[in-house]
Structure formats: structure tokens, C-alpha cells
Amino acid sequence: EDQVTQSPEALRLQEGESSSLNCSYTVSGLRGLFWYRQDPGKGPEFLFTLYSAGEEKEKERLKATLTKKESFLHITAPKPEDSATYLCAGHSYGQNFVFGPGTRLSVLP
Amino acid sequence: NAGVTQTPKFQVLKTGQSMTLQCAQDMNHNSMYWYRQDPGMGLRLIYYSASEGTTDKGEVPNGYNVSRLNKREFSLRLESAAPSQTSVYFCASMGVDQPQHFGDGTRLSIL
């Protein structure tokens, strides 16, 4: 059975304190690994898609990486506006998306 | 661009009442999805529609029905609401080789 887990459940950082969020997946025949950002009271907003091990993508202070079993979302010098819940999801061929429970990130000024 | 629009944004029901959640997208996407999101759990798929005229069950379909009215619209119906269906419901749409785009959700409480 396809499964996606995320750690930590919650993370508090000081502004400028870099860290990483983890997404572990057991998805047979991975078609893509997706990262989303979700603000309170809003729907998930797409950030990145990763397709193969070794791939990296960047956007502003965020960089997503992918191995055969995990994906990491690295946040460099975060700002308070980066506070949100970050979701990852695996998508396999012939199957639908499987979402992890998310990591709640708080960046304190 | 509106993207994915869900109505209503909030709703309170009594046990046993019925209601329909509406979803419309303006991106000409073929695929549409209904999820529920509960605290501590990931988004769970209720039903999806790979194209106009088709619908399929997801992970948690019991107690729900859907209608793909046309390419733009995909509705979710609760025939007899139960407290266990208290949740936040998200609709999403997706084009070929694209990520899912989500609406801002319907917050549903069932007393």
C-alpha cells in the first residue's frame, strides 16, 4: 500500500535559522513527488514536482530534493512569511495522489 | 483567474440533513477530485473524475456521492450527514502532466 509520512509534525525556527523538512514515501512506480504549501484557511498551493532520484528544484528560499525513498524541503534563512503547513504527496502510475499529514512550520521574527 | 471555486465556504448541518458541495474550475482541466482534510491526517481522496462523464471511488467514499455535471463542475453530495463527516473538504482539478490545483475549501460541521 502506498504511504507517505512527514517529519517533524511541527517545527519552530527563528528568522534566518535554516532547516529541512522530511517526506518519506513508499510508492510503487513513482510518477512524481509533489510539494505544496498550505496557509491557514486556504487550499494547498503547488510548489514543486520531482520526478527522479537526484533531482533538485529551487524557488526563492526553498529547495526540494529527492532520493529513492525520501524527499527533503530545505529552507534557507527563512522569514516569518514562510510560516505555513508544507505537504508532500506521491503520485504513482495508475494510482491517485497519496498525501502526507504535513509539517507545520512557524518562523519567529 | 479564478482557478478552482468552491461553495459554500462554511456550513453547519444537523445529523441526517443532506447537502451538496459545489466545485467549478475554469482551467479546462479534465480531471477533478474531492478530498477531505482532518487534523493530523493527510488529504484523503473521496471521489475523483478522470474526465467528463466518469467518476470513481477514492479511499473514503462511504456516505458520499458525486456528479460530474460538465467539464467545469464536480459536485459532492452528503445524503444523510453524520458527525464523522465533520471536516474540511477540498476540490482540486488537474490537467495533463500538471500538478493539482486546489480550491480554498468548505468547512463543514455536523452537529
A-interface mutation test, from B43, B89, B96, B107, most A Cβ less than 10 A away: B43
Q: What is the pLDDT of residue A108?
A: 97
- Contact across the interface for B42 and A101, Cβ inside 8 Å: yes
Q: What is the pLDDT of residue B1?
A: 60
Asked if the model's pLDDT at residue A105 lies above 70, the reply is yes
Residue B32 buriedness (CB in 10 A; 0-12 / 13-18 / 19+): buried
Please name the member of B44, B58, B102 whose beta carbon is closest to the beta carbon of A44.
B102
Q: What's phi and psi for B35, nearest 5 deg?
A: -125, 160
By CA distance, what is A87's nearest residue in B? B42
- Contact across the interface for A46 and B44, Cβ inside 8 Å: no
Which pLDDT tens digit goes with each residue over A66-90?
999 999 999 999 999 999 999 999 9
Min CA distance, B90 vs chain A (Å)? 7
Show which residues on chain A lie within 8 Å of chain B, measured between beta carbons.
Answer: 4, 9, 34, 36, 41-46, 49, 87, 89, 96-102
- What is the rounded distance in angstroms from the CA atom of residue A71 to the CA atom of residue A8? 13
User: By percentage, how much of chain A surpasses pLDDT 70?
Assistant: 100
Min CA distance, B18 vs chain A (Å)? 24
Residue B33 buriedness (CB in 10 A; 0-12 / 13-18 / 19+): buried
By CA distance, what is A104's nearest residue in B? B40
Q: What is the pLDDT of residue A66?
A: 96
Per-residue confidence in pLDDT tens, chain B, 111 aa: 679 999 999 999 999 999 999 999 999 999 999 999 998 888 999 999 999 989 999 999 999 999 998 999 999 999 999 999 999 999 999 998 889 999 999 999 999
For chain A, list the domains and their CATH numbers: 3-95 (2.60.40.10)
Q: What is the pLDDT of residue B68?
A: 96
Min CA distance, A100 vs chain B (Å)? 5
Which candidate, B85, B33, B40, places its Cα nearest to that of B62? B85
Q: What is the pLDDT of residue B40?
A: 81
- Contact across the interface for B44 and A99, Cβ inside 8 Å: yes
- The helix/strand count (H/E) of chain A reads as 0, 11
- Contact across the interface for A34 and B42, Cβ inside 8 Å: no
Min CA distance, B15 vs chain A (Å)? 24
Bridge pairing between strands A56-59 and A62-66? antiparallel
User: What does the block give as the cell for B17?
Assistant: 440533513
Which pLDDT tens digit goes with each residue over A22-67?
999 998 888 899 999 999 999 999 999 999 999 999 999 999 999 9
